[in-house]
A and B are shown apart, each in its own frame.
Chain A
Amino acid sequence: MFEKVLIANRGEIAIRILRACREMGIKTVAVHSTADADAMHVRLAEESICIGPPAAKDSYLNPSAILTAATIAHVDAIHPGYGFLSENADFAAMVEEHDFAFIGPSADHIRLMGDKIAAKQAVKDAGIPVVPGSDGALADADEALAAAEAIGYPVLIKATAGGGGRGMQVVRDAEGVAQAYALARAEAKAAFTSDEVYLEKFLEAPRHIEVQVLADSQGNVVHLGERDCSLQRRHQKLLEEAPSPALNEAQRQSIGDKVVQAIKKLGYRSVGTVEFLFEKGEFYFIEMNTRLQVEHPVTEMICGLDLVREMIRVAAGAPLGFKQSEIKFSGHSIECRINAENPDTFQPCPGLVGIYHAPGGLGVRVDSGLYSGYTVPPHYDSMIAKLIVHGANRNECLMRLRRALSEYVIDGLDTTIPLHQRLMNEPDFVNGDYDIHWLQKFVDGTNT
């Protein structure tokens, strides 16, 4: 096992990793920018090294500074956390070239999953369902019609070079294909100079459901159930829950088994998350995240495992200590991401924290680096805390979450706590009846 680990991150996730290390008897080295000299992860670590100025590109995103710090501090391994260098394949390779263990997957797997087209093909070949579409560009309107008929309506005709919604046409029936095809081509030509278009199934109101996996170097793979992360605004998740209110036991087992088989085929090691869109009982692969995720605690709460501990163990070469059949899911868990933002305008609000009081009690967990007198620096992500609660069932979980939100005091900053409190009283949310568009409509006040 490792004796000393460098944590190449900041904020709550640096503390999260530090806690796992400490419980395993592993010493920690915090690295930080000058803006984070007073940060809690720096204060709690056995050693700390300032690696650069506030700008992330010169500190937390600077592989050379981090590897030099690791060399000076004589660590055995580096944990990248999430964000920053966590999905940088070159960094993972550099870490290993310097004879440190990278607490994560291999550089090759990070690289594969980082290439969205190659990743889709790789997981499709390994048996994971993907969004059905035309294989490549469409030659003419007849080919578009044939592909649409094969997939089933509605379909989306998209520019191959596309992005930002331009060159995209939704087609709901056979009559619309020819016109939409022509329009999409014209739009694509205008926006991207190439008029190549392709076609795929259009999902109107899917949910975002992701499956957590854990694999060791010996080829043992388990899944730890799913998380529902449909509550998003501008692709930023706000609240996550496990299990998903939309899945039944058969669907859970079926997708879990498919993911486990695929991950085995791919020879993947460490924790990872396979993200899907879920609509009308079907799963469609979006991407795979080759790292620990922000919302990992909801999985920990329902299966009683410490994912960071498991990550460290498998990175040190240890085999998983349990089989799929030994993993038991218990109760329900929800995580609220608390950002230093105005709850109505989402304007970031860094600054000095006044009185700070975190909620507690049975089934309540707060992952945060906040303390009274701490100044939230303006240079980084606005997420300042995660409030995670667990209950015997979803209803108990919601009651507990309302109680915990009402206890939470973070003076001096605008936070998203009031938004979460509003959410707790929305019938759609209480009933678990929401898709990936729901939150945006809710904050825009256009939900009907």
Chain B
Amino acid sequence: MADKPERDIDEDLVRQLAKLLDETGLTEIEYGRDGWHVRVSGRTQQVATIDPAPAQSGGDTQATPDDSVDVDLTNAVTSPMVGVVFTSSDPETPPFIKVGDQVEEGQTLLLIEAMKVFNPITATKAGKVVQILITNGAPVEFGEPLLILE
């Protein structure tokens, strides 16, 4: 991934937990510290769950940042389509926005690729980028919060 937003997942930690999961044969590990925690669950467990929260597509293990991390989604910009999100127009150029940026109405924030078409996601109002909730190249669902703009 080209960039690392502030609230990104500690990949090494997740990998370590995932490895533990395989070694121990557990279906789920929850690990927390200093007001945050991460739950890693294996796919077999995912089958049985009837959690109404939309499951994410991905690899064999999934890291789910717990909702108790409390993200206020009132000012979230949500995805208007299912697709793959890109934070810059190509890998060489810097991201369209970073946390702390002041953006104008109509400014491009991200791109979402669907059916090989890159759709710019633009700011519907001027504001400050408070938080970026996705990483470059991540698949997103319709309605998924992408970033917080206040």
Q: Chain B residues with Cβ under 8 A from A33's Cβ?
A: 142
A33 vs B82: C-alpha distance when bound (angstroms)? 11
Contact B139 A72 (CB under 8 A): yes
B32 at the interface (CB under 8 A from A): no
In the complex, which of the residues B47, B50, B54, B84 contacts A72, with contact meaning CB atoms closer than 8 Å? B84
Q: A68-B81, A68-B82 are in contact. Are A51 and B142 (CB under 8 A)?
A: yes
Q: Chain A residues with Cβ under 8 A from B115's Cβ?
A: 64, 67-68
Which residue of chain B is the closest to A44 with respect to CB atoms?
B50
A69 at the interface (CB under 8 A from B): yes
Q: Chain A residues with Cβ under 8 A from B106's Cβ?
A: none
Main DSSP-derived SS at the B contact region:
loop
Contact B52 A51 (CB under 8 A): no
In the complex, which of the residues A48, A64, A74 contacts B54, with contact meaning CB atoms closer than 8 Å? A48
Q: Chain B residues with Cβ under 8 A from A243's Cβ?
A: none
B89 at the interface (CB under 8 A from A): no
A49 vs B54: C-alpha distance when bound (angstroms)? 7
Contact A50 B57 (CB under 8 A): no
In the complex, which of the residues B46, B50, B51, B143 contacts A50, with contact meaning CB atoms closer than 8 Å? B143
Contact A50 B141 (CB under 8 A): yes
Q: A65-B114, A72-B82, A72-B139 are in contact. Are A47 and B55 (CB under 8 A)?
A: yes
A47 vs B139: C-alpha distance when bound (angstroms)? 13
Contact B57 A47 (CB under 8 A): yes
Contact A34 B52 (CB under 8 A): no
How far apart are A58's CB and chain B's nearest CB, in angstroms?
9
Q: A37-B52, A38-B52, A46-B47 are in contact. Are A68 and B57 (CB under 8 A)?
A: no
Which residue of chain B is the closest to A371 with respect to CB atoms?
B50
A31 vs B144: C-alpha distance when bound (angstroms)? 14
Q: Chain A residues with Cβ under 8 A from B139's Cβ?
A: 49, 72-73
A379 at the interface (CB under 8 A from B): no
How far apart are B119's CB and chain A's nearest CB, in angstroms?
10
Kindly supply a per-residue 1/0 record for chain B positions 71-111, scoring 1 wherever the CB is within 8 Å of any chain A CB and 0 otherwise.
Answer: 00000000001111000000000000000000000000000
A43 vs B82: C-alpha distance when bound (angstroms)? 19
Contact A50 B82 (CB under 8 A): yes
How far apart are B52's CB and chain A's nearest CB, in angstroms?
5
Q: Chain A residues with Cβ under 8 A from B144's Cβ?
A: 50
Which residue of chain A is the closest to B112 with respect to CB atoms?
A68
Contact B143 A65 (CB under 8 A): no
Q: Chain B residues with Cβ under 8 A from A219's Cβ?
A: none
Contacts A/B (CB < 8 Å), 16 sampled? A31-B82, A34-B143, A42-B54, A43-B52, A46-B43, A47-B55, A47-B57, A49-B54, A50-B143, A59-B142, A65-B81, A65-B142, A68-B114, A73-B57, A73-B139, A74-B57
Give me the interface of B with A, judged by CB distance under 8 Å. Answer: 43, 46-47, 50-52, 54-57, 81-84, 114-115, 139, 141-144
Give me the interface of A with B, judged by CB distance under 8 Å. Answer: 29, 31, 33-34, 37-38, 42-53, 59, 64-65, 67-69, 72-74
Known contacts A37-B52, A65-B82; 18 further A-B pairs (Cβ under 8 A): A34-B143, A43-B50, A43-B52, A45-B55, A46-B47, A49-B57, A50-B54, A50-B142, A53-B143, A59-B142, A65-B81, A65-B142, A68-B82, A68-B114, A72-B57, A73-B57, A73-B139, A74-B57
